[in-house]
C-alpha cells in the first residue's frame, strides 16, 4: 500500500467524463463545440496523453505546462496559452515552440503577443456579469465588454487573427444561468465587432462546470441545455463554442487516501480531528471553506458528532473546516484511514513543495504510478 497521504486517479473515469461532455454538448448544440482541458486542474502525464488521444485541446497557463504537453507528444496546434498574465519572454518562447493561440485582457498583453507571436489567433477575456461561483476569481481577470470590442479591433489592426471573446463564470459555478449571461454579453461583443467588419470565429465560454461534493450539483445536461439555448439566441450560427473544463473532467476521478494523526478535545469543548493531509499538501480548496469535501472512514456506521478538521502542519491557518458542519465517527482514532472522494482536481497541483517539511501530495494512476 502506498504511503499516506496519496491521490489515486482513475483514468477511465476521465475518459468517460470527456466523452460524456463532448456528447451532451454536441447533442444539445447545433454548432461546432471544442473541448479544451484546463491542464492546471490535474497536470498528470497519463491524463494529458489520454485526452490528447481523445482529440482534446489544452488550455495551458505557463511555459511549464507547455513544455510538459509538448514532451508528451501533444501538438502545439492544440494548445492555447490562456493565462492573460505572461511575460514577453514567455510569449516569445511559446511562439518559438509553435503555440499560435493566446488569451489576453489588457492592451499591454495584446501588444506583447503581437510583437512576440505575430499572426497568432487571440481571444479577449472580458469580465462577465455572472453570479459568484463557489471559488470566484473576483476581478483579477477580464476587461469590460466594451473594452473587449476595442481590443479585438486593435488585435485585427496589429495583424493578429481574431478568434473572439472569452469569459469565465468562476470555478465550481452551480448556477446554469451564469452561462446565459456570459453568452449574451459575448453576443453583444460579436455584434459590435461585426459592425467593424470583424467576424468572430469562436466564443470561449471558459470552465467552471461543477461536480458534486458534500452538496449536489445540477446534472451536466442542465448546463448544456442552457448553453445551447443561449448560443442559439445570441450568437451567429457559424460561431463555434470553446469550453475549458478542468474540474468537470478530473474531479470525480480522484480519491485522496489519508490517515488520522490524532484526535483532541480543545478547551472550548470542540473535538478536533487532525489528518496527515491539509491545506498545504493537497486541500488548498478548503480555503474559506469554499469546497466542502466528503470524508469516508472504516468506522462509518458508528455514532457521529461534529468535528473541526485540520491538517498536520504547525500553522494556525492549516484548518480545513471549523465553520462547515462536519460529522465524523466519535470512535475515530490515530492511525485510522480516511478517504476523501472527488479530489481529482486542484489537489496535487496545489500542493506546496515542502512546507514544514511535508512533501507534496503523491499521485498514483490506476494501472501506473507517478510522483
Residues 196 and 261 in one domain: no
Whether the Cβ atoms of residue 171 and residue 209 lie closer than 8 Å to each other? no
CATH number for the domain harbouring residue 293: 2.40.37.10
Rounded Cα gap, residues 264 and 22, in angstroms: 47
Distance, C-alpha 199 to centroid of its chain: 29
Residues 276 and 351 in one domain: yes
Same domain, 220 and 258: no
Query: What confidence score (pLDDT) does residue 156 get?
Result: 98
Which residues on neighbouring strands pair with residue 328, listed in sequence order?
305
Contact, 168 vs 137, CB < 8 A?
A: yes
Burial of 334 (0-12, 13-18, 19+ CB in 10 A): exposed
Tens-digit pLDDT string for the chain (371 aa): 789 999 999 999 999 999 999 999 988 888 899 999 999 999 999 999 999 999 999 999 999 999 999 999 999 999 999 999 999 999 999 999 999 999 999 999 999 999 999 999 999 999 999 988 998 888 899 999 999 999 999 999 999 999 999 999 999 999 999 999 999 999 999 999 999 999 999 999 999 999 999 999 999 999 999 999 999 999 999 999 999 999 999 999 999 999 999 999 999 999 999 999 999 999 999 999 999 999 999 999 999 999 999 999 999 999 999 999 999 999 999 999 999 999 999 999 999 888 999 999 999 999 754 44
The DSSP annotation for 279-309 comes to TTTT-GGGGGG-S----EETTBTB-EEE-EE
Instruction: Say if residue 283 is exposed, middle or buried (CB neighbours under 10 Å; 0-12, 13-18, 19+).
Output: buried
Looking at the structure, do residues 204 and 286 belong to the same domain, yes or no?
A: no
For residues 222 and 296, membership in a common domain is answered with no
The reported pLDDT for the residue numbered 368 is: 54
**Measured between alpha carbons, how far is residue 245 from residues 18, 51, 59, 203, 348 in Å?**
9, 12, 9, 15, 17
- Point out the residues that are catalytic: 314
Domain that holds residue 87: 31-245
Instruction: Return the pLDDT at 353.
Output: 86
- Give the model's pLDDT for residue 131: 87
Question: Do 66 and 138 share a structural domain?
Answer: yes
Does residue 256 share a domain with residue 231?
Answer: no
- pLDDT, position 154: 98
Same domain, 307 and 219: no
Q: Last residue of some domain: 227, 245, 263?
A: 245
Residues 146 and 292 grouped into a single domain: no
Nearest alpha carbon to residue 331 among 363, 370, 297, 292: 297
- Residue 325 shares a structural domain with residue 358: yes
C-alpha cell of residue 330? 466519535
Q: What residue has cell string 498536520?
A: 312
> What pLDDT, on a 0 to 100 scale, did the predictor assign at position 311?
98
* 46 plus 183 within the same structural domain: yes
Amino acid at each position: 500500500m502506498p504511503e499516506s497521504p496519496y491521490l489515486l486517479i482513475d483514468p477511465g473515469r476521465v475518459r468517460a467524463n470527456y466523452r460524456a461532455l463532448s456528447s451532451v454538448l454536441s447533442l444539445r448544440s447545433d454548432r461546432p463545440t471544442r473541448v479544451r482541458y484546463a491542464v492546471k486542474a490535474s497536470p498528470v502525464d497519463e491524463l494529458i496523453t489520454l485526452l490528447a488521444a481523445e482529440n482534446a485541446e489544452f488550455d495551458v497557463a505557463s511555459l511549464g505546462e507547455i513544455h510538459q504537453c509538448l514532451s508528451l507528444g501533444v501538438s502545439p496546434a492544440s494548445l492555447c496559452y490562456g493565462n492573460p498574465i505572461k511575460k514577453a519572454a514567455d510569449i516569445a518562447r511559446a511562439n518559438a515552440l509553435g503555440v499560435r493561440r493566446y488569451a489576453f485582457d489588457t492592451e499591454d498583453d495584446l501588444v506583447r503577443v503581437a510583437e512576440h507571436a505575430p499572426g497568432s489567433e487571440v481571444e479577449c477575456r472580458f469580465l462577465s456579469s455572472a453570479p459568484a461561483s463557489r471559488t470566484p476569481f473576483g476581478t483579477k481577470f477580464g476587461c469590460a465588454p466594451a473594452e473587449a470590442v476595442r481590443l479585438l479591433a486593435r488585435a485585427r489592426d496589429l495583424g493578429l487573427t481574431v478568434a473572439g471573446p472569452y469569459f469565465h463564470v468562476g470555478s465550481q459555478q452551480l448556477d446554469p444561468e451564469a452561462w446565459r449571461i456570459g453568452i449574451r454579453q459575448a453576443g453583444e461583443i460579436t455584434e459590435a465587432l461585426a459592425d467593424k467588419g470583424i467576424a468572430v470565429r469562436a466564443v470561449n465560454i471558459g470552465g467552471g462546470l461543477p461536480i458534486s461534493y458534500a452538496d449536489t450539483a445540477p446534472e451536466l445536461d442542465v448546463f448544456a441545455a442552457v448553453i445551447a439555448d443561449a448560443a442559439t439566441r445570441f450568437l451567429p450560427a457559424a460561431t463555434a463554442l470553446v469550453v475549458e473544463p478542468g474540474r468537470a473532467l478530473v474531479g470525480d476521478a480522484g480519491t485522496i487516501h489519508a490517515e488520522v494523526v490524532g484526535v483532541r478535545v480543545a478547551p472550548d469543548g470542540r473535538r478536533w480531528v487532525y489528518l496527515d493531509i491539509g491545506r498545504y499538501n493537497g486541500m488548498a480548496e478548503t480555503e474559506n471553506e469554499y469546497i466542502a469535501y466528503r470524508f469516508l472512514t472504516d468506522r462509518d456506521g458508528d455514532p457521529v458528532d461534529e468535528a473541526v478538521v485540520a491538517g498536520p502542519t504547525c500553522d494556525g491557518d492549516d484548518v480545513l473546516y471549523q465553520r462547515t458542519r462536519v460529522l465524523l465517527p466519535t470512535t475515530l482514532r490515530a492511525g485510522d484511514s480516511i478517504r476523501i472522494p472527488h479530489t481529482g482536481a486542484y489537489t496535487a497541483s496545489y500542493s506546496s513543495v515542502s512546507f514544514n517539511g511535508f512533501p507534496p501530495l503523491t499521485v498514483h494512476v490506476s494501472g501506473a504510478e507517478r510522483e
